[in-house]
Amino acid sequence: MDAMPGLHLLDHPLAKHHLTHVRSRDTQPGEFRRHVGELVKLLAFDATRDLRVRETTVITPLCETTGHVIDERVGLVPILRAGLGMVDPLLTLLPEAEVWHLGLYRDEQTARPVEYYRKLPEGNPVETAIVLDPMLATGGSALLALDALKKWGVARLKLLAVIASAPGVETVAQEFPEASIHVCVVDPELNDRKFIVPGLGDAGDRSFNTLGE
């Protein structure tokens, strides 16, 4: 992989621990969702590092001092379905964030994303958008989401994924060099069905217990 300034890898023991549970085929849906949630909070720590804050005054039990509040409009953009499980963990950290949904699924034959829900307003975009999707495989879904947000007029684009493939992350970094990509791990390859290998399977099905559909 070439050097990618926009790529932020979460190299941390806690991330490795939770990721191992998420990867394991023996992890059941409830636990899968919980471990994904923990990873999202860890990813968010780095991804929100540059949010603008404004000074405020706070009175402690002892005296008055300076505090800070987040001072920018942040939009969380979960890609349905799997991204839904990433919303609540982020809202615990950013309760004032706006949530804008995008519905995409990957066509099983072509592996191309198919859009089925987009309801972004005309104008008045958020200042920072954080796309939420646990998996970045070919990168097709992420490109579609980032393109929709760019057209809306969002100035700062971020992408949070638990896992990415090397080719997928390269594609996104090439098409959207201005976006920052925050992932726990980049796996080396995709198989002939465009699944990340070694990967974690299908995050949507594992989150929502629809493997048997």
Stretch that binds ligand PRP, among 5-13, 32-40, 45-53, 129-137 (CB under 6 A): 129-137
Give the Cα-Cα-Cα angle 37, 212, 168 (nearest 5 degrees). Answer: 55
The residue with its CB nearest to ligand PRP is 204
C-beta of 125 vs 168, nearer to ligand PRP:
168
User: Considering only residues 19, 42, 47, 203, which one is a binding residue for ligand PRP as defined by CB under 6 A?
Assistant: 203
Cα–Cα dist 118/126, whole Å: 16
Q: Judged by CB under 6 A, does residue 145 bind ligand PRP?
A: no
Q: Judged by CB under 6 A, does residue 187 bind ligand PRP?
A: no
Cα–Cα dist 168/143, whole Å: 10
Q: Judged by CB under 6 A, does residue 132 bind ligand PRP?
A: no
Q: Judged by CB under 6 A, does residue 85 bind ligand PRP?
A: no
Is the bond leading into 95 cis (omega within 30 degrees of zero)? no
C-beta of 155 vs 197, nearer to ligand PRP:
197
User: Considering only residues 22, 75, 126, 133, which one is a binding residue for ligand PRP as defined by CB under 6 A?
Assistant: 133
Which positions ≥6 away from 203 have C-beta within 8 Å? 36, 82, 85, 134, 135, 162
CA 69 to chain centre: 23
Q: Judged by CB under 6 A, does residue 79 bind ligand PRP?
A: yes
Structure tokens that stand for 87 in this block: 């919303």
Structure tokens that stand for 197 in this block: 């290998």
Q: Judged by CB under 6 A, does residue 140 bind ligand PRP?
A: yes
Q: Judged by CB under 6 A, does residue 22 bind ligand PRP?
A: no
CA nearest neighbour of 77 among 168, 173, 151, 167 = 151
Q: Judged by CB under 6 A, does residue 194 bind ligand PRP?
A: yes
Stretch that binds ligand PRP, among 37-45, 56-64, 151-159, 202-210 (CB under 6 A): 202-210
Q: Judged by CB under 6 A, does residue 141 bind ligand PRP?
A: yes
C-beta of 51 vs 111, nearer to ligand PRP:
111
Cβ 6 vs Cβ 161: under 8 Å: no
CA nearest neighbour of 200 among 112, 144, 136, 146 = 136
Helical spans, DSSP H, in 120-196: 140-152, 166-175
Residues interacting with ligand PRP, by CB under 6 A? Answer: 79, 81-82, 104-106, 111, 113, 133-142, 168, 194, 202-205
